[in-house]
Amino acid sequence: MGKHGRSGISKKARLYIALGVVLALAAGGTAWAVYGPGADKTKDDSAETTATDSVETTETAESTETAVSDEESDGVETNATVIVPPSALEPEGGDAPPAVYDPNATPATVEQQATKVLSVASSGGSYTLKADYVLFLTGGEAADAAFAHGDESPPPNDYYIVNDNTMIRDLPIAADATVRVVTNNDGTSNPTGYSMTLASWVSALSGPNANAFKSGIYWISLTNGYVVSIEQLYLP
């Protein structure tokens, strides 16, 4: 009996063990079917869904930016810095009118001349200069002129004054003529020079140091026959 009982239990045990193995295999297969390839596919589907959502989000953002850009172009106020071109800051109508050519207009005649100042006459508030034109030469011309006149050539200080024509000219002086001299009021020389009024210069020409103010050479500028600038040259 004991032997038979042991043999029977052994067979049942083997049966139970075999059944357990089968059930375990079946359970494992079911789990693999549920969590195996299906799980991988779910992961892939989830990744694809995430990528799709990302693309859609990007497209939505781009669409939003485009819409905002369109709104800005339609006049929506933004914080962007606006650079205004300089031409936009110019006042309207600021351009100068075009020059008009007048064929009958008389062009101004401008002349510069070296001269000796002899005197200035006053009449009715206006002045007339008595001038003796000269040639003020430098360099090679000065050397040639000095040699032709029998003087030292080249001349001292590299300048030579020619006064072959002693014709005296009466030249009206403009009321706003400028004057610059290199003679001080005491008759001494002033190499730097300084400006003085026309009336003061006229007075100096008849004052105690008149010879100093009349000495040397003046450059005068004339416009349409009127003296507009008077400048005494400093000659060492």
| Residues forming beta bridges with residue 162, ordered by sequence position | 135
pTM for the structure as a whole: 0.55
pLDDT of residue 60: 47
Q: Copy the structure tokens of residue 34.
A: 């549920």
From the CB of residue 213, how many other CB atoms can be counted at a distance below 10 Å?
A: 24
What pLDDT digit, counting tens, does each position of 44-88 carry?
Answer: 554 444 444 544 444 444 444 444 344 444 444 444 444 444 444
Name the pairing type of β-strands 159-162 and 218-223.
unpaired
Task: Provide the CA 6 distance to its chain's centre, in angstroms.
Answer: 116
What are the phi and psi torsion angles at 101 (to 5°)? -85, 125
pLDDT of residue 185: 94
Q: Copy the structure tokens of residue 74.
A: 């339609």
Q: Is the peptide bond before 107 cis (omega within 30 degrees of 0)?
A: no
Closest Cα to residue 184, out of 174, 194, 175?
Answer: 194
**Tens digits of pLDDT across the chain (236 residues):** 444 444 445 666 666 676 776 676 666 665 555 555 544 444 455 444 444 454 444 444 444 444 434 444 444 444 444 444 444 443 444 444 554 545 565 667 789 999 999 999 999 889 999 999 999 999 999 999 999 999 999 999 999 999 999 899 999 999 999 999 999 999 999 999 999 999 999 999 999 999 999 999 999 999 999 999 999 999 98
